């Protein structure tokens, strides 16, 4: 059965049809757990980033210091910055059927390590602009996520388009590392905001569809694993939206 945006009757695994009220209640609990994981992950990353950027004893571990101020990431800092990407690739190949505890451990480790790389934002941008942009990004994310949850329009067709745009964005960012064009930087920032805005709505609807189509009929173990990795997707989407908005709204130190 195809996804019914109105959620009149939703199929679970094995062909069992659940009552709408039961599905709605389960879906709300499921998405609440996803957003709780995401929010907690952002808090952990933010605390780690703040400690790395502002506690001298910690800053010196990851940064080259000059005159008591962080200048650039040192070797360990560079490893920590790229470690989350390596973790994501590793998880794709090694975590085929993770337990709930393994998925949670991976997620908490990921968001903590990612905080080291995010500390660069606190070194480069003013605290005021970071706070302002964060709340703008959070407001936009909430509105887009609500749209993805409530819209009756099937957004799955936009998924492939957004992913293609994301690959193009990555290529453009790599190219601009060599040319350092301010015009291309503006285009990249604009495209980044639009792509991750679209992914916010798309990913939210995808999580809803997954729950209705099969996750809701699974046990708690499977639901926890899918909630954790759903939170990881939204966490990454939000941080990218935030960072691309910083290119427009961030004030540099």
Tell me whether residue 221 is in a domain: yes
Q: How confident is residue 1, by pLDDT bands cut at 50, 70 and 90?
A: very low
pLDDT given for residue 160 in this prediction: 84
Tell me whether residue 187 is in a domain: yes
Q: How confident is residue 7, by pLDDT bands cut at 50, 70 and 90?
A: very low
User: 67 or 118: whose pLDDT is higher?
Assistant: 118
Q: Give the mean model confidence (pLDDT) for residues 107-130.
A: 94
Q: Give the mean model confidence (pLDDT) for residues 44-50.
A: 97
Tell me whether residue 4 is in a domain: no
Tell me whether residue 208 is in a domain: yes
- Domain of residue 33 covers 10-249
Total of domains in the chain: 1
Tell me whether residue 5 is in a domain: no
Task: Please give the backbone phi and psi of residue 156, each rounded to the nearest 5 degrees, phi first.
Answer: -60, -30
Please check the confidence at residue 11 and state whether its pLDDT lies above 80. Answer: no
pLDDT tens per residue across span 146-178: 999 999 999 988 888 898 999 999 999 989 888
């Amino acid at each position: 059965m195809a996804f019914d945006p109105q959620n009149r009757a939703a199929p679970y695994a094995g062909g069992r049809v659940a009552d709408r009220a039961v599905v709605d209640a389960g879906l709300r609990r499921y998405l609440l757990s996803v957003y709780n994981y995401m929010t907690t992950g952002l808090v952990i990353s933010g605390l780690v980033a703040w400690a790395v950027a502002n506690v001298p004893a910690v800053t010196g571990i990851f940064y080259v210091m000059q005159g008591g101020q962080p200048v650039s990431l040192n070797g360990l800092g560079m490893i920590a910055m790229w470690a989350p990407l390596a973790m994501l690739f590793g998880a794709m190949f090694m975590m085929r059927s993770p337990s709930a505890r393994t998925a949670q451990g991976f997620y908490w480790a990921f968001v903590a390590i990612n905080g080291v790389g995010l500390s660069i934002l606190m070194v480069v941008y003013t605290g005021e602009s970071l706070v302002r942009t964060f709340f703008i990004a959070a407001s936009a994310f909430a509105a887009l996520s609500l749209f993805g949850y409530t819209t009756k329009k099937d957004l799955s067709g936009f998924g492939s388009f957004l992913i293609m745009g994301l690959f193009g964005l990555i290529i453009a960012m790599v190219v601009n590392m060599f040319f350092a064009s301010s015009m291309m930087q503006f285009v990249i920032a604009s495209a980044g905001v639009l792509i991750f805005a679209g992914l916010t709505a798309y990913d939210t609807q995808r999580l809803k569809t997954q729950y209705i189509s099969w996750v809701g009929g699974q046990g708690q173990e499977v639901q926890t694993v899918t909630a954790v990795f759903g939170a990881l997707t939204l966490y990454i989407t939000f941080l990218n939206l935030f960072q691309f908005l910083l290119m427009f709204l961030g004030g540099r130190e």
